[in-house]
Structures are given as structure tokens and as C-alpha cells.
Amino acid sequence: MIAVEKVHQQPLEDMLPKLVTDYGLSATADSLGVSKATLGYWLLKLGINVQRVALAPGDSLEIKRAS
């Protein structure tokens, strides 16, 4: 964890939600050089909730952060 934070110069708590949202779990794990299991463990340990949503063609989804 610490090595990844040093390379990217930001805490995982800030980095992971955006990466997983933008690229998905597999691509995020690959880009960080860790396994999907390791990424899943980090998400669980940091309390980052990942949910999948199925959208029909033409549907959209808006994500809002709690302030």
C-alpha cells in the first residue's frame, strides 16, 4: 500500500474511488501493479464501497458526493 501511495503521491483513500469508477476493478488493479484480490482487500480495509449498476441504452447515472 505504502509503495503505491509513494509512486502516485496521494493516499489510496483519495485515489482508488476515482480509478475504480473511471476504469473498473481489473484495469485499476493492472495499472497499480497489484492483483484484483489485493485491490479488493484494500477497498474493504479502507471502507470503500463498490457497486455495479446496469443501465439500459439511453439511461444515465449521476454520482453525487456527500458533503
Q: Render pLDDT for 3-39 as a digit per residue (tens, 0 to 9).
A: 999 999 999 999 999 999 999 999 999 999 999 999 9
Nine-digit cell string for 33: 501493479
Contact present, 16 and 28 (Cβ < 8 Å): yes
**What's the pLDDT band for 57 if we cut at 50, 70, 90?**
very high
Nine-digit cell string for 8: 502516485
pLDDT at 66 over 90: no
For the stretch 20-57, what's the b/e string if a residue is b when 16 or more beta carbons lie within 10 angstroms of its beta carbon? beeeeeeebbeebebeeeebeebbeeeeeeeeeeeeee
Stated pTM of the model: 0.79
Nine-digit cell string for 60: 444515465
pLDDT at 65 over 90: no
pLDDT for 63 equals: 81
